[in-house]
A and B are shown apart, each in its own frame.
Chain A
Amino acid sequence: MPDAPSTDVIQGTLDLLILKSLSLEPMHGYGIARRIEQISRDVFKVNPGSLLVALKRLERDGALDSAWRDTANSRRAKYYSLTRAGRRRLADEAADWTRRANAVARLLNAEG
């Protein structure tokens, strides 16, 4: 797997990945990007532009809250956290994704 080329996040899944990353703890944008890349073992490469736009959109949708906080190295960073609506949305989107992924997996297995 590590040798496989990294791909851009599939259209439409970035929101889900962001929500999932934030479900554990509040994070800043770079942290989210790193988390997604690490957990996916660098399969997904997060475009900073897409990420920041998605964060802004989710915040406006009411799924995220944001706050400027001082970081460990005393720089200010914008930390995002899930709102209650965000948690609901994560649960919905995760369930939906699993359903789809299972369906695709079944199809592929039947083919093979």
Chain B
Amino acid sequence: MSIVRALRHGLRRLTHRADADREDADEIQHFYDQAVRDQLARGLSPEDARRSAQRALGNRTALREEVGRAGWESVVTDLGADLGYAARRIRRDPGFTAACVLTLALGIGASTAIFSVVEPVLFAPLPYPHADRVVAITDLGAPGAGGDVTYGSYEELLARAHTFVGLAAADRWRPALTGDGVPERLEGDQVTATYFRTLGVPPAIGRDFDASDEQIGAPRVAILADGLVRRRFGGSADVLGRQVTLDGVPYTVIGVMPPGFQNVLATAAQVWSPMRYRSHAPFQGPEWGHHLRMVGRLEPAATLDAGRRDLNAIARAPLAESPRPSWAALDAGLAVEPLRDSVTRQVRPALLAIMGAVLLVLAIACVNVTNLVLVRGEQRRAELSLRATLGAGRGRLVRQLLSESVMLAGIGGALGYAIAAFGVRALVALAPAGLPRADAIRLDGPVLAFALVITVIASLTVGLVPALQAVRADLRGGADAGARSTPRARHALRRSLVVAEVALALTLLVGAGLLLRSLERLFAVPPGFDPSHLLTMQVQIVGPRYRADTARQQFFERALDAVRAVPGVVDAAFTSQLPLSGDLEGYGVDFEQAAHENPTDYRDALRYAVTPDWFRTMRIPLRRGRFLDAHDRPGGPEAIVINESLARRVFGGRDPIGQRMRAGPELGRSDRPADIVVGVVGDVRQSSLAVDPPDAFYVAMGQWWWVDDVQSLVVRTNGGAAALTPALRRAIWSVDPDQPIARVATMDDLVARSEADRRFVLTVFEAFALAALALAAIGIFGVVSGTVTERSREIGVRAALGASRGSVLALVIGQGMTLTALGVAVGIVGSVAATRAIASLLYGVTALDPVTYAGVVATLAIASLAACSAPAWRAARVDPAIALRAE
């Protein structure tokens, strides 16, 4: 009831301000009149009576103010007044306003743009219902880092786990789509029938896979992505039930996924079909190869930990009825983690580093604006003390100053959000191709909330410090506002802000410097071949005509002949795997007469099945023996070329030529003739320039166990490599127009792309570090320039007493450089801690690389010297006469 009354009275006051004020005035007037009357009645003279009443009442204006402000509505009116006043002040000083708003807008805009990239990738839940229950399951005993699971393990876990409502597995599948139109290689997955149910997203039209689809011999079925249906089949209405030819085999389309479906395990997947494996398969079968990615959906009641305990209990307790081979014994345990963490692990360090960097930039922007506001506060001291004298309370003054910075930050934030809208597009365009969940990047609710929060924080940081400072200084020194004394505290604050700025900028510069040096080191790493003038493309053969190895061999040889005939082609070769392309395929190898501490120790080595010109085309150097040549044909003695690493590791200093080797399916098969090592060649970097070259062996295409149906063509050209693409396509299609060609790229592109993550982080860091350097230089300039103005009298006196220009210059520059030196000292300590965050992105340099630190310190020193030089020059030209006359 009383709240209603208070509200009603307050609102009346807000809406009928003049009436309410007049009533207050009337009441006070009445009070006064009565007091005068009483005093007259006591016998005072009219004049004394009035004076006495006046004394009792005090300052009438102040009284009216006090009474008028009694209700809650005064907060509203004050706020309105503050904002109106702030708006007028902001308009009156456009230069200052523009500097503050732009600095904050860039800081807030950059942070918001980066956050919008980082948020969906690292923080937002995956686009599945109850995504927190979807987990990735990896076999910690699997070879390699991926932790891929075998089908046999999947089968056993599926039968025994009880904390999951669904378990599913997926295998990368890249079928060639042929039939109508240009043959095309699709990205896809072969999945268990439980796959979409485990993710929680059923097909939008048609039906999901069911258990019968997994049976060997059941009709082949496929589910397509909405994008593929639109692109290849003109909309989704009639595609159900249609036959599509994948890898030369007809599949019936049974479903289409909804348009927004994100397949986070393989973002590019457009087609899914059921995987078909035998139950309780023999150990030699593909069912026991580590090649499946496994996901699970926890029961609503089960925690992540419960799921982990459940699966590991199964791993530790094998059952007699489901035997496990030694390589899938699960004795190392199973890892269970949220699927989101699993798919973003690769990019997390880079994204967190970038997020950290942009927050540093935002911090510097805030510090810079704080400094600007402080400088301006000094120019406003007279105004503030006047307002204090007129009765404005300390709180009111703080609020007043804060409302100005809130307004500045608000405008900056709004502008920043607009900048972010553009920045996001640029970032997505710039981002490395493999960025997971890139399609989820946009300005949405969480991003807006983030922008609001950092705007509020920014407005408080840039407002509170100067406001409190101004009010404190004002109350202390209001009386002698005209005095020229140097308020040391204020300067100390501004100096420490500049020191902070320099320190933050140094941290960013060190980060950028370390990344730059890493990339330099990386690109200086010889890849083991000559990447210039090389064009690469992937050629796939599909269709029943090519079932036989001889047919495949023939196709590739004829394609190679056609390619060689293209003008501009110097050399050409096919290979089963291409360096720096993402291919990675290895087999166990064993040497009959190796140097034999540990004869049972099979090693993994990469297998390259190549055509004989491979080495010449790639310019891989021969170290010993001979290259593979045209005589190494099917049926002939099997020749092997190994790389230096493998030779060194197995044979030490001895000559490997003539040694016998078995690889892959031949391992342990002493009934078959072994391969003979005929040559040793230089090492080639396969997965990345940053990864040491692995052991590798080369075998002629026709002498391996099978002829691969997906091969990469490598062509050395005598001109611009990319320009030959159409002619090469035509050459290959002249042999068979139905064979898809994919992944066309020059080798230079592949080399650059293999370091795209680092380059992306470096680009962002460089931009931020430059911004930070500029802001820090502006900060130094501001402080030094301010002191020169304030000390011009002192400088004049010095000059009059005979100080040389040089000594004045030294004085001013010394001041700036002292700040820089302090900032550098603080920054180095900070950098040592902060660069740990980017340690995983560095290559060939330590996080404490002295060259980087020296370079960064030198850069900062030069920048701050430049920033000091203008004010120093001004100081040196102070005319002693003018300075003294100003006294």
Interface residue ranges, A against B (CB under 8 Å): 28-31, 33-34, 48-49, 52-53, 56-57, 59-62, 68, 73, 75-78, 85
What's the minimum C-beta distance from B429 to chain A, rounded to whole angstroms? Answer: 60
Residues of A within 8 A of B9 (CB): 56, 59-60
B23 lies within 8 A of chain A by Cβ: yes
Q: Are A49 and B67 in contact (CB under 8 A)?
A: yes
Q: Are B6 and A78 in contact (CB under 8 A)?
A: no
Residues of A within 8 A of B1 (CB): 62, 85
Among candidates A31, A57, A73, A78, residue contacting B23 with C-beta atoms closer than 8 Å: A78
Q: Are A62 and B2 in contact (CB under 8 A)?
A: yes
Report the stretch among B28-36, B82-90, B344-352, B522-530 that lies at the interface: B28-36
Interface residues of B in 1-53 (CB under 8 A from A): 1-2, 5-6, 9-10, 23-24, 26-28, 30-31, 33-35, 37-38
Q: Are B27 and A29 in contact (CB under 8 A)?
A: yes
What's the minimum C-beta distance from A36 to chain B, rounded to whole angstroms? Answer: 13
The number of residue pairs between A and B whose CB atoms lie closer than 8 Å in the complex comes to: 69
Q: A34-B38, A48-B58, A61-B2 are in contact. Are A53 and B30 (CB under 8 A)?
A: no
Among candidates A48, A61, A76, A85, residue contacting B31 with C-beta atoms closer than 8 Å: A48
Residues of B within 8 A of A61 (CB): 2, 5-6
Q: A49-B63, A53-B67, A61-B2 are in contact. Are A30 and B35 (CB under 8 A)?
A: yes
Q: Are A75 and B33 in contact (CB under 8 A)?
A: yes
- Bound-complex Cα distance A49 to B9 (A): 19
Q: Which residue of B lies closest to A54 (CB)?
A: B70
The 6 tightest CB contacts between A and B, nearest first, are A30-B34, A62-B2, A60-B6, A53-B70, A52-B67, A49-B66
* A29-B27, A78-B23 known, 14 other contacts, Cβ within 8 Å: A49-B58, A49-B63, A49-B66, A49-B67, A52-B27, A52-B70, A56-B9, A56-B71, A60-B10, A73-B37, A75-B30, A77-B30, A78-B26, A85-B2
Residues of A within 8 A of B67 (CB): 49, 52-53, 56
What's the minimum C-beta distance from B746 to chain A, rounded to whole angstroms? Answer: 79
Residues of A within 8 A of B33 (CB): 75
Q: Are A56 and B70 in contact (CB under 8 A)?
A: yes
B residues contacting the other copy or chain, number (CB 8 A): 27
Q: A53-B70, A56-B67 are in contact. Are A48 and B28 (CB under 8 A)?
A: yes
Residues of B within 8 A of A75 (CB): 30, 33
Interface residues of B in 605-627 (CB under 8 A from A): none
B56 lies within 8 A of chain A by Cβ: yes
Q: Are B30 and A78 in contact (CB under 8 A)?
A: yes
Majority SS at the chain A contact face:
helix
Residues of B within 8 A of A59 (CB): 5, 9
Q: Kindly name the residue among A31, A60, A62 whose own CB sees the greatest number of chain B CB atoms within 10 A.
A: A60
Q: Are A29 and B31 in contact (CB under 8 A)?
A: yes
Residues of A within 8 A of B57 (CB): 48
- Bound-complex Cα distance A57 to B71 (A): 7
What's the minimum C-beta distance from A83 to chain B, rounded to whole angstroms? Answer: 10
Q: Which residue of A lies closest to B10 (CB)?
A: A60
- Bound-complex Cα distance A26 to B31 (A): 16
Among candidates A52, A68, A73, A85, residue contacting B28 with C-beta atoms closer than 8 Å: A52
Among candidates A30, A57, A85, residue contacting B30 with C-beta atoms closer than 8 Å: A30
Residues of B within 8 A of A68 (CB): 23
- Bound-complex Cα distance A78 to B26 (A): 9
Q: What 0/1 readout, one digit per residue, does chain B (462-489) give for beta carbons within 8 Å of chain A?
A: 0000000000000000000000000000
Q: Which residue of B lies closest to A56 (CB)?
A: B70
- Bound-complex Cα distance A67 to B815 (A): 69
Q: Which residue of A lies closest to B62 (CB)?
A: A49
Q: Which residue of B lies closest to A52 (CB)?
A: B67
Q: Which residue of A lies closest to B59 (CB)?
A: A49
What's the minimum C-beta distance from B33 to chain A, rounded to whole angstroms? Answer: 7
- Bound-complex Cα distance A48 to B34 (A): 12
Residues of A within 8 A of B24 (CB): 52
Residues of A within 8 A of B2 (CB): 60-62, 85
Residues of B within 8 A of A62 (CB): 1-2, 5
Q: Which residue of A lies closest to B2 (CB)?
A: A62
- Bound-complex Cα distance A62 to B8 (A): 12
- Bound-complex Cα distance A85 to B1 (A): 11
Residues of A within 8 A of B27 (CB): 28-29, 52, 77-78
Q: Which residue of B lies closest to A63 (CB)?
A: B2
Q: What 0/1 readout, one digit per residue, does chain B (56-86) give for beta carbons within 8 Å of chain A?
A: 1110001100110011000000000000000
Residues of B within 8 A of A73 (CB): 37
Q: Which residue of B lies closest to A50 (CB)?
A: B66
Q: Which residue of A lies closest to B72 (CB)?
A: A60
Residues of B within 8 A of A52 (CB): 24, 27-28, 31, 63, 66-67, 70
- Bound-complex Cα distance A40 to B57 (A): 20
Q: Are B56 and A48 in contact (CB under 8 A)?
A: yes
Residues of B within 8 A of A49 (CB): 58, 62-63, 66-67
What's the minimum C-beta distance from B324 to chain A, rounded to whole angstroms? Answer: 80
Q: Are A60 and B30 in contact (CB under 8 A)?
A: no
- Bound-complex Cα distance A36 to B833 (A): 70
Q: A53-B70, A61-B5 are in contact. Are A29 and B30 (CB under 8 A)?
A: yes
Among candidates A60, A76, A78, A85, residue contacting B71 with C-beta atoms closer than 8 Å: A60
- Bound-complex Cα distance A47 to B47 (A): 22
Residues of B within 8 A of A28 (CB): 27, 30, 34
- Bound-complex Cα distance A80 to B505 (A): 66
What's the minimum C-beta distance from A108 to chain B, rounded to whole angstroms? Answer: 33
- Bound-complex Cα distance A53 to B10 (A): 14
- Bound-complex Cα distance A53 to B70 (A): 6
Q: Kindly name the residue among B27, B56, B63, B70 whose own CB sees the greatest number of chain A CB atoms within 10 A.
A: B27
Q: Which residue of B lies closest to A30 (CB)?
A: B34
What's the minimum C-beta distance from A80 to chain B, rounded to whole angstroms? Answer: 10
Residues of A within 8 A of B56 (CB): 48
- Bound-complex Cα distance A76 to B70 (A): 23
Residues of B within 8 A of A57 (CB): 70
Show 26 A/B contacts (Cβ-Cβ < 8 Å), sorted by A.
A28-B27, A28-B30, A30-B30, A30-B35, A33-B31, A34-B38, A48-B57, A49-B63, A49-B66, A52-B27, A53-B67, A53-B70, A56-B9, A56-B67, A59-B5, A61-B2, A61-B6, A62-B1, A62-B2, A68-B23, A73-B37, A75-B30, A75-B33, A77-B27, A78-B30, A85-B2
- Bound-complex Cα distance A70 to B794 (A): 70
- Bound-complex Cα distance A52 to B32 (A): 13
- Bound-complex Cα distance A75 to B36 (A): 14
What's the minimum C-beta distance from A35 to chain B, rounded to whole angstroms? Answer: 12
Q: Kindly name the residue among A28, A56, A61 whose own CB sees the greatest number of chain B CB atoms within 10 A.
A: A56
What's the minimum C-beta distance from A65 to chain B, rounded to whole angstroms? Answer: 10
- Bound-complex Cα distance A29 to B30 (A): 9
Q: Which residue of B lies closest to A78 (CB)?
A: B27
- Bound-complex Cα distance A76 to B31 (A): 11
- Bound-complex Cα distance A57 to B9 (A): 10
Residues of B within 8 A of A53 (CB): 66-67, 70
What's the minimum C-beta distance from A29 to chain B, rounded to whole angstroms? Answer: 6
Q: Are A76 and B63 in contact (CB under 8 A)?
A: no
Residues of A within 8 A of B62 (CB): 49
- Bound-complex Cα distance A30 to B38 (A): 10
Q: A30-B35, A48-B57 are in contact. Are A60 and B5 (CB under 8 A)?
A: yes
Q: Kindly name the residue among A33, A52, A75 whose own CB sees the greatest number of chain B CB atoms within 10 A.
A: A52
- Bound-complex Cα distance A56 to B71 (A): 8
What's the minimum C-beta distance from B65 to chain A, rounded to whole angstroms? Answer: 9
Q: Kindly name the residue among B23, B31, B62 whose own CB sees the greatest number of chain A CB atoms within 10 A.
A: B31
- Bound-complex Cα distance A31 to B35 (A): 10
Residues of A within 8 A of B34 (CB): 28, 30-31, 34
What's the minimum C-beta distance from A26 to chain B, rounded to whole angstroms? Answer: 14
Q: Are B6 and A76 in contact (CB under 8 A)?
A: no
What's the minimum C-beta distance from B355 to chain A, rounded to whole angstroms? Answer: 50
Interface residues of B in 545-589 (CB under 8 A from A): none
Residues of A within 8 A of B35 (CB): 30
Residues of A within 8 A of B71 (CB): 56, 60
What's the minimum C-beta distance from B118 to chain A, rounded to whole angstroms? Answer: 50
- Bound-complex Cα distance A112 to B71 (A): 45
- Bound-complex Cα distance A61 to B71 (A): 11
